[in-house]
Amino acid sequence: MSVSTPADKPICGIRAVIIDLDGTMLHTAQDLHAAVNRMRSDLSLAPLAIDTVISFVGKGIENLVRRALGVDFSPVVIERHFLQALTLFEKHYLDVNGEFATVFPGVHEGLQAMQAKGLRLACVTNKPAAFTLPLMKKTGLHDYFEIIYSGDSFAKKKPDPMQLLQVCAHFGLAPVEVIAIGDSISDTQAARAAGCKVLTVPYGYNHGQAVQDIDSDGIVSSLLQAAHLIST
């Protein structure tokens, strides 16, 4: 596997962009941290540090809940408590969704620049739709996107390429005409499997690992820099 370096060359022949949500457009760690610790409190477990919760983000809410339980429980005990914990987490996350989340610098400007170039935009996230759509509306991101696919839109989610391939099919584009932008190995693996190019941002969550250690077509400091590099 190759490692990623800063992107500095134009990426041509692109007609659409698929963008991840958590860690790429939105800093949602505070919301997730609050919901996880309220869930853990209900289960008489001690609170976790925010950096620990961040290291669990990226493969969907079910994975987040299992990892949060795994701090204290064996795999067998995790499964015994999982459904209760998931229900508690979803209840608390609905309460705090968007309360602490912020838009990363350059996101609005980058999306506007992409639209000005005539690029079609899709958001693909592993977050369930019940949380995704209200959050995107609350943070002013919803109306930029022609397509929004959530973690429960299809049978599979990132790192499986299903969501990305569905975007390509909806747009009527070949994967080589589509580029993905994300913050984690789940994003890059999905893009590679779909046959799309992929850029990464360095400020996201990536399961607690350095973004430089994953295979992408380059690291961009912001969506605005990505917009400057991408052309049709």
Determine contact, residues 64/208, Cβ cutoff 8 Å.
no
Concatenating the DSSP letter of every residue in 114-180 gives HHHTT-EEEEE-SS-HHHHHHHHHHTT-GGG-SEEE-TTSSS--TTSSHHHHHHHHHHT--GGGEEE
Say which residues have a Cβ less than 8 Å from residue 80's Cβ, sequence separation at least 6: 73
20 is catalytic: yes
Round the CA-based radius of gyration of the chain to a whole number and report it.
17
Handedness of CA 220, 223, 227, 232 (dihedral sign): positive
The helices-and-strands tally (H runs, E runs) of the chain is 9, 7
User: Which of the following is catalytic: 20, 22, 183, 187?
Assistant: 20
Beta strands in 14-59 (DSSP E): 16-19, 26-27
Locate 49 and state its tokens: 């540090």
Handedness of CA 46, 50, 54, 60 (dihedral sign): positive
- Residues that are catalytic: 20
